[in-house]
Amino acid sequence: MVFDPAIAPRNRGDFLRWYDAQTRWGEGHSYDDPQVTTPSLASWFADVSKVFPPMNGPHASNDYDDPNVTDYSIGRSVIYAAFAWSVAALAFEEVDRLATKHSVGFFDVSSDEGEIRFP
């Protein structure tokens, strides 16, 4: 998950509670349109979707057999991406690189440690 570092709490416990609230998906809008999020997160999405096109929404891929097609949930201050396990290593590298490029935070949800990175 990438996130707006200006919104997210810096304390790990507070961050995890905030993450839990964000992933309840209760903002009252579609979660597949990048127009609802911050400019930095929308720019991150534009870049990452060149390699990992979205499964749903206005920019959805029609190639259902492509393992790079990714399920995104786009909130006002977070973008959660569910990648296929077969592309997990490549996805991690690309998400991390683009998070740095766009100055957004990165929460490695899938790792045992659950590293939280702020720009």
* 26-47 pLDDT, tens digit each: 999 999 999 999 999 999 999 9
Burial-class residue 75 by CB neighbours within 10 Å (0-12, 13-18, 19+). Answer: buried
Domains of the chain: which residue ranges?
2-117
| Sheet (strand 71-74) strand order | 71-74, 78-82, 2-3, 105-107, 116-117
Coil, strand or helix at 87: helix
Coil, strand or helix at 53: coil
Pairing relationship of beta strands 78-82 and 116-117 according to DSSP bridges = unpaired
pLDDT (tens digit per residue) in 50-107: 999 999 998 899 998 999 999 999 999 999 999 999 999 999 999 999 999 999 999 9
Which stretches of the chain are assigned E, i.e. beta strand?
2-3, 71-74, 78-82, 105-107, 116-117
The total number of residues shown for the chain amounts to 119
